[in-house]
Amino acid sequence: MQSALRAEGLSHTYRDTPANPTPALAGISLSVAPGEFLAVVGPSGCGKTSLLRILGGLLTPDEGRVWLDGKPLTAPCREIGFVFQRANLMPWRTVLTNVMLPLQVQKMAYGEAEARAQALISLVGLEGFERSYPRQLSGGMQQRVALARALVHDPEILLLDEPFGALDALTRERMNLELLRLWSLHRQTVVMVTHNIQEAVFLADRVLVMSPRPGRLRAEIAVTLPRPRAVEMMASEVFGALAQQVRREIDANGGQYVPDRS
């Protein structure tokens, strides 16, 4: 079954240094349809990671709530797979045992967990590297492992925080195609944060643009490109126009703090 994710009135201020609180998010409401691929873009520091962490139940907002299929979400749950901004692999675990981790947390029998992890490792093209350690892999390979780990327990929701941000352009393009291929198999509900406009338009059904601190939703752009997407589409007029529209919305704030206009 595909899942829907909804958030209403999310606001959050970090108060680690009480004298200097950081307002990260203000009044964000959004709704992601079952099987939809949503991209969230915005300048560095605008609160994208904070938003994703709240959507994943990893951070409790000061205000607002999140619902997963109509049920309040207040803690991480197995329906959600997360890929963090950095691969976040455990250096002392091999590729295989890193990918097995979510299944071990669920107390799945070792043999079954190993078989499922192995299948995912093959799916992301890392067959033969099961016994390698993260330090022995390239950045792109590490992100593939993170993707396999996020998918191994078959989550209905996938939250991706700039999963390919650290990769070179060519590897990134390949990973985007890989991600679309994996998504077309299971049609998870996806929220992907990126600050790459081309990537957002190429992958998503809809692009949300956030304004800088505190992050608010500034615009929503429906991506009218057909599926399956192909790299050649990036040269099309429609693609160019959509990318320009997203860029205009991002630039409209000039990366500056904008007081509440609502």
Ligand X SMILES: Nc1ncnc2c1ncn2[C@@H]1O[C@H](COP(=O)(O)OP(=O)(O)OP(=O)(O)O)[C@@H](O)[C@H]1O
Q: Which spans of this chain sit near ligand X (rule: CB under 6 A)?
A: 14, 16, 22, 24, 42, 44-50, 85, 195, 213
Other beta carbons within 10 Å of 119: 12
By CB under 5 A, is residue 49 in contact with Mg ion? Answer: yes
Which residue bears the tokens 């500056």?
256
Query: Which CA distances in Å does 183 have to 124, 162, 170?
Result: 12, 16, 20
Least Å from the CB of residue 79 to ligand X:
23
Least Å from the CB of residue 16 to ligand X:
5
Least Å from the CB of residue 223 to ligand X:
21
By CB under 5 A, is residue 253 in contact with Mg ion? Answer: no
**By C-beta, is 49 or 142 nearer to ligand X?**
49
**By C-beta, is 7 or 210 nearer to Mg ion?**
210
Query: Which position's Cβ is nearest Mg ion?
Result: 49
For Mg ion, the binding residues in 172-191 under the rule CB under 5 A are none
**By C-beta, is 152 or 160 nearer to ligand X?**
160
Per partner kind, with CB cut-offs from 5 to 8 A, the member of Mg ion, ligand X, none near residue 22 is ligand X
By CB under 5 A, is residue 50 in contact with Mg ion? Answer: no
Least Å from the CB of residue 25 to ligand X:
8
Phi, psi of 260 (to 5 degrees): -55, 125
Closest CA to 8 of 162, 217, 156: 217
Least Å from the CB of residue 166 to ligand X:
11
**By C-beta, is 58 or 233 nearer to Mg ion?**
58
Tell me if the bond preceding 102 is cis, omega within 30° of 0: no
What is the contact surface with Mg ion in residues (CB under 5 A)? Answer: 48-49
